[in-house]
Structure 1
Amino acid sequence: MIDRLHYISQSSEKISHLEAIEQVLNAGGKWIQLRVKDLPESEVLTLAKAANELCKKFAAHLIINDFPAVSKAVSAYGLHLGLNDMSITKARLITGKEIKIGGTANTLQDIKKRVAEGADYIGLGPYRFTNTKKNLSPVLGLEGYQKIMEQVKKEGIITPIIAIGGIAPEDLPEILKTGLHGVAVSGALTGKTDARERIKNMYAELEKHPASHTSKL
């Protein structure tokens, strides 16, 4: 099942990826994406093994960003691929059928491509400017989400679509009115002392807006 609240890990001088992940798990996070862009695959594998053990302890799902072989090696729940990463079709040859694969999209055309590739979910964004990503795609904003989700409905696309990119807890009410399945956050939770309350409030807001898309099991 595709959770409606995704956490994307980030590190800083004050906190490591694993520390950030453990804090979010302790606060009630259930869908954790390990996103490491500046380390070699061997080091990402080491981090992924540790992150997977943490997720198992909290009965949470681990998603690996960008490294199909790593997701396979640690038996992660899923893999997430960016627009400039390997195609989902090629990644599936590495991961096999058991691992869920999600892909980033910025336009309706991207979404249709991801659906054709067999994506289990799609991350649509960015919502606003974010420092966590280099080579940022054009910002969509609320208007962009409204327009694209109307087109998605007309196309009959039922793949769960997650809003990504610079999203804060207070953005959820308006974003979810567009029909999106859920949201992915990073800075909104990383290192926050009130992460438990934030997660609780975000899940409560998600419950007010029943998912319009059927999650793939």
Structure 2
Amino acid sequence: MARYTGPKSRIARKFGEGIFGADKVLSKKNYPPGQHGNNRRRKTSEYGVMLAEKQKAKYTYGVLEKQFRNLFEKAESAAGITGEILLQSLEARLDNVVFRLGIAPTRAAARQLVGHKHITVDGKVVNIPSYAVKPGQIVGVRERSKSLEVIANSLAGFNHSKYPWLEWDESIKAGKYLHTPERADIPENIKEHLIVELYSK
């Protein structure tokens, strides 16, 4: 499946924030990439601002355009605030839950663990990163994968109380998806109302 595999620092510099996590390059070069990155005075159009916000959300969660559009359409047809529901749907993706539980250091690494059948949902192996985790379901590490170094290193010292909608059980290396997160609890710096405006044009 097509995924962005280019330089992540370049994308982070484009948006001016570490959307893939801590980034040493961003602290040294906090301006857009390219020949004129530090000297650009061009004003971004209203449409450009909305488009950039959508691109930022897509890169942050590692979702392709078609998947993102489908999630938006489902959020739009659901009762409630469309932008919030969109973010909540992205948070419920299995790869994101694995990342939030600290099983993987990044969402890309979480996608790889899911794809390689190291992750279970309610005791059954699920290898679809976009699988929507439902409240009450338990996401864990497959028994034979618990000794994997990448998982052990990621879990070491991870603060499991960061996200109030998740509950971690160290003894079984699994976490429970307690409920859909409130927008205020989702830490991502995404202006979802701009994405709604973009798709509404």
TM-score range, shorter chain: under 0.3
Give the structure with the higher percent strand: 1
Q: Which has the larger radius of gyration?
A: 2
Give the structure with the higher percent helix: 2
Give TM-score, length-normalised by structure 1. 0.24
